[in-house]
Amino acid sequence: MKPKQIGQKIVMCMLVTSILGIGSATPAQAATWHKGTPKAIRGSWVCHKSISSGTPGWGQRKIYANKMTNQDQHMPKVLFTHLKYKSLGHGKYKIHCFSRIIKKSYGDKGGYMTLTFVKNNGKLKTGNWPWYHHGTV
């Protein structure tokens, strides 16, 4: 082989190796944080539950693109803002948000929290609460 051909082959090998090396060195970021809420869990959700005294009660979550509200019977309404979410797979989402009570008279300054939502068979669950279904109170 001539020296010119050997040099061209070496340059081509280096070029192919560098292109393939760069392509495989950047891992996919499937678990990144996204602004807002996932479309899959948006809407009005309601649950019917018994409170500790055995009296029937209810809870309602309204999930919008950039905010959420939560209202339980006999409790003040809570607003969740500054939302970002991460998909955990299989209908499971982790949402990081700032929560505060809407009425100023309670003196609540609010704080950041992380909630995990699970959507399964058209129902929604978060924490130890019962399953929510689509609807209004």
Global confidence as pTM = 0.72
Round to whole Å and give the CA distance between 49 and 4: 81
- CA 72 to chain CA centroid, Å, is 22
User: CA-CA distance, 80 to 82, in Å (whole number)?
Assistant: 7
The pLDDT tens digits of the residues spanning 51-67 come to 666 667 889 999 999 99
CATH topology of domain 34-134: Lipocalin (2.40.128)
pLDDT at 128: 81
For 19-44, write each residue's pLDDT tens digit: 555 544 445 455 699 999 999 999 99
